[in-house]
Structure 1
Amino acid sequence: MTDLNTVRKGLVALSVEQTLLEIGGGKLLNEVLTILFEKYHSYLPNCYENPEYLIGACKELGEGLSKEIRRSLRKRLEEFSYQGQIEYFLTRLSEIEYMRLPNPRVN
């Protein structure tokens, strides 16, 4: 049996990828992936548990961009928000705007 959390993680990662491609094409996707890896030592699927990494990467590219990405993700994932973990991810995305972003992990 497939772990439902893994499926949700994949759904969020795919939604983030589609959103980035829709907003800024391959260039934006590559820029975000680079920041995620270099600053947070993470990949797109890690944003499911750590949405602050995604918003931090997007904010580096422009404040308006992070807001647009959050709006687009909420719309894209809205039909799955009845699932607690997806709603939690979306709520954290919204709350991050008002929080101080964490320092990147140091390995």
Structure 2
Amino acid sequence: MDIDDVQIKKALVAFSIEKALLEMGEPVFQKVTEILKNDYNCYVPDCYDHPEYLKRVLADLYGNAHTAIISSIKESLREFSHQTPVQKFLVALE
């Protein structure tokens, strides 16, 4: 996998995360991105390489309700879920 392919997948995952968070509301997006930055020095695109950060933040903030956000991310990425890097990201969120 070349650099461009990695960047495309990273952007695709970041878009899916942002879309799912914004569907829940602007305050949800703001809170999650704030905690990612403050606790992990991480931004949404970095979640491609560190999905465990996103999973932990969502679980801490929303308990079992975090599964709705993860489901939305999975749905957005369903078309690409057969690709190994995307599949690994999705498995890490479970």
Cα distance in 2 between the residues matched to 1:2 and 1:55: 26
Aligned pairs for 1:18-37 (under 5 A) are 18-23=19-24, 25-37=25-37
After TM superposition, the structure 1 stretch with the greater mean CA deviation from structure 2, 45-54 or 65-74, is 65-74
Aligned pairs for 1:92-103 (under 5 A) are 92-94=92-94
Name the structure where helix makes up a greater proportion of residues: 2
Deviation digits for residues 13-56 of structure 1, max 9, x if unmatched? 01000000112x11100000000000111000010011111111
Unaligned runs of 5+ residues in structure 2 are: none
Kindly name which structure, 1 or 2, has the bigger radius of gyration based on alpha carbons.
1
Cα distance in 1 between the residues matched to 2:49 and 2:3: 18
Match of 1:46 in 2: 46
Unaligned runs of 5+ residues in structure 1 are: 95-107
Shift of residue 82, structure 1, vs aligned partner:
1.7
Identity score, percent: 37
Deviation digits for residues 46-96 of structure 1, max 9, x if unmatched? 1001111111111221212321111111111010112111011111111xx
Q: TM-score, normalised by structure 2?
A: 0.92
Q: TM-score, normalised by structure 1?
A: 0.81
Secondary structure of the corresponding residue to residue 82 of structure 1: coil
Match of 1:79 in 2: 79
Corresponding pairs, count:
93
2:61 aligned with 1:61: yes
